[in-house]
Amino acid sequence: HELVFANPQKSQEGEYICTIGFKPEYQDCGTSGATVDVTLNVLVDEEATVSIDTDKTSFCSGSSTILNALVTGDAGDVKWYVDGGTSPVSLENPYTFNYPTGTYTVRCEVENGCGVAVDQVVINVLSTPVLNSITSNDDLCVGQDIVLTALATGDGVLTYDWKRGSQGLPYRHRLGSLF
For all residues of the chain together, what is the average pLDDT?
82
Q: Which residues contact 95 (CB under 8 A, 6 or more apart)?
A: 66, 67, 68, 69, 78, 80
Give me the pLDDT at residue 171, please. 62
Greater pLDDT, 125 or 149: 125
User: What is the b/e burial string over 125-163, where b = at least 16 CB atoms within 10 angstroms of the residue's CB?
Assistant: bbeeeeeeeeeeeeeeeeeeeeeeeeeeeebeeeeeeee
Q: Which residues contact 178 (CB under 8 A, 6 or more apart)?
A: 147, 148, 162, 169, 171, 172
Instruction: Write down the pTM of the prediction.
Output: 0.64
pLDDT, tens digit, 9 for 90 and up, residues 4-25? 777 777 788 888 888 777 676 6
The values of phi and psi at residue 154, to 5°, are 160, 165
pLDDT, tens digit, 9 for 90 and up, residues 41-87? 877 777 889 999 999 999 988 999 999 999 987 777 899 999 999 99
Band of pLDDT at residue 26, cut at 50, 70 and 90: low
Q: Which residues contact 78 (CB under 8 A, 6 or more apart)?
A: 50, 69, 71, 91, 92, 93, 95, 108, 109, 110
146 and 137 Cβ atoms separated by less than 8 Å: yes
Band of pLDDT at residue 91, cut at 50, 70 and 90: very high
